[in-house]
Amino acid sequence: MQRVVRNLPKNCEIIAGSCTHIGSIMCHIGGIEYSVDYIASKNNCYFIHLGDWIEAIMTDDKRYNAPPDGSKEKEQSIPVRQARDAVRIFKPIKKKIIVGLKGNHERKLQRFGNLVEDNICGKKEDGGLNIPYGTESCRIILENNNKPMFNIFAMHGRKIFNSKAKDYEQNLANRQASMKLTLVNQMGDCLVMLCGHAHQILIVPPAKKLYFTDDEKGVQQRYLERAEGSGYINPDQRWYACCGSARKSRLDGYDDYAQVYDPVELGFVKITVEDGRPVNIEPFLI
């Protein structure tokens, strides 16, 4: 785990993304470049990467399949070169990247070294982006002029968030609840709780929960209000999000290990901050 402190404007946007899988023939490079251009073009827009920057699957891995004939130039199968490509792609926004995490794909090659910490997030003179490295989970302390705004918890994660419910709305609600339960106990003072890995965009806003109180006039109805100040935050007053992916799962003529999963939208999530507080999280489609 890591603790990252960053000064930001009170009004800004934060794009939180995961699972870019650079190097795979299934990587949506155009979508990643769109995201980079969007962040670079806005004065107060920042980025968090929640891991699986690169495909990091070697040719002797059971998940590896050679690309179809005529498409080999679209794949980079050497993980170290994938890391170099990640640095090149994200270099235009390196000063806007709050933190970079490691994912399970990079961890799979840990015996060769830490591709995220050393190659991607590493020092400029070593060919890296020179950005904070967050391990596989971190807490992000956001400040404005060294005064606290709010905290974010971010982790790559290990769960996929499946549901066997046949109804679409119930299926989605089950996956959202599973995501929230996975994150809820990780940290108690973070207003925004983020994960990756699942290749899904899932968002759970603070609950508009009705409750009753008593006063001398009788029973009164009230609603949960947004959390203020520091310290423990009621789980129902937090924002939760699974931060999507830029990896496609279907390609004619290609046997991909992810094609067994349901279709998902490609993209990340956008956090809108106003007056130092998160007021919205929405899909950022690519």
- Are 206 and 234 in contact by the 8 Å Cβ rule? The answer is no
Residue 65: the pLDDT is 81
Percent share of the chain, pLDDT over 70: 99
Residue 197: the pLDDT is 97
Strand order, beta sheet including 12-17: 97-100, 45-49, 12-17, 267-274, 277-285
Band (58; pLDDT cuts 50, 70, 90):
confident
Residue 64: the pLDDT is 85
Average pLDDT, rounded, for the chain: 94
- Are 93 and 130 in contact by the 8 Å Cβ rule? The answer is no
- Are 69 and 37 in contact by the 8 Å Cβ rule? The answer is no
* CB-based contacts of 189, cutoff 8 Å, min separation 6: 151, 230, 231, 232, 233
- Are 222 and 213 in contact by the 8 Å Cβ rule? The answer is yes
Residue 258: the pLDDT is 87
Amino acid at 15: I
- Give the pLDDT confidence of 98-127 residue by residue, as tens digits: 999 999 999 999 998 999 999 999 998 889
- Structure token digits, residue 182: 């996975």
Residue 229: the pLDDT is 64
Contacts of 282-285 with CB under 8 Å at 24 or more apart are: 282/203, 283/201, 283/203, 283/244, 284/15, 284/17, 284/35, 284/244
> Does residue 178 surpass a pLDDT of 90?
yes
Taken in order 101, 256, 250, 88, is the CA torsion positive or negative? positive
Residue 67: the pLDDT is 81
- Within 10 A of 24 (CB to CB), how many other CB atoms are there? 26
How far is Cα 266 from Cα 251, in angstroms, rounded to an integer?
A: 15
Tell me the CB-side half-sphere exposure of residue 115, using CA atoms within 13 A. Answer: 29
> Does residue 156 surpass a pLDDT of 90?
yes
- Are 12 and 44 in contact by the 8 Å Cβ rule? The answer is yes
Mean pLDDT score, 72-98: 94
Does CATH place domain 2-206+235-285 in 3.20.20.70?
Answer: no
- Of the candidate ranges 43-47, 151-155, 253-257, the one whose mean pLDDT is the lowest: 253-257
Backbone angles phi, psi at 92, to 5 degrees: -60, -20
How far is Cα 194 from Cα 128, in angstroms, rounded to an integer?
A: 25
Mean pLDDT score, 59-77: 82
pTM, whole model, 2 decimals? 0.94
> Does residue 172 surpass a pLDDT of 90?
yes
Which of these, 271, 24, 22, lies nearest to 150 by C-alpha position? 271
Q: Residue 93, class by beta-carbon neighbours within 10 Å (0-12 exposed, 13-18 middle, 19+ buried)?
A: buried
H helix or E strand, kind and range, residue 39: helix 29-41
> Does residue 226 surpass a pLDDT of 80?
no
> Torsion angle of alpha carbons 102, 108, 114, 115, nearest 10°?
-80
